[in-house]
Amino acid sequence: MQNVTPFHIAIPVHNLEECRIFYKNTLNCKEGRSSDHWVDFNLFGHQLVIHYKPKNENNTLHHNQVDGQAVPVPHYGVVLPWDIFHSFAEELKEKKVTFVIDPYIRFKGETGEQATMFFLDPAGNALEFKSFKDMSQLFTK
């Protein structure tokens, strides 16, 4: 795998302050720069920016079936080292995060076996965090 550089992602949120608290306190993201319309966060070394956008009542999540689970689309997240994934999942459980898909092992015993979990932020954005025991499986067919 090539050297990985940080990604940048900007997502819409309808309540900037509620989401600011979620990313800081629930996900333990360090806050960076901000304005009255956006906030930068360090999400495991990547730049996540939450941007205020008025709530759209017609915004419903679409789902696709993956390994027998209804996976929300779109979603974003980070591939974490195996031990970090599991300790992070335990922290989220302790903080009473409601999972869309509880932490589990997807594709068990198959190519691309991975730990994964899904949950929503307060604005309804879907997050997936995953991990591979063998990182060379990340792009394996």
Res 40: pLDDT: 97
pLDDT confidence of residue 1: 53
Burial of 42 (0-12, 13-18, 19+ CB in 10 A): middle
What confidence score (pLDDT) does residue 2 get? 65
pLDDT recorded at residue 116: 97
> Do 18 and 121 contact (CB within 8 A), yes or no?
no
Q: Does domain 8-54+62-137 have CATH number 3.60.15.10?
A: no
Strands 69-73 and 62-66: antiparallel
Residue 67 is predicted with a pLDDT of: 86
Q: What is the mean pLDDT of each run of 10 residues along the chain (141 residues)?
A: 83 95 97 95 96 82 86 92 97 98 95 95 96 90 82
List the chain domain ranges. Answer: 8-54+62-137
pTM of the shown model: 0.89
How much is the pLDDT for 10?
Answer: 95
Instruction: Give me the pLDDT at residue 48, please.
Output: 96
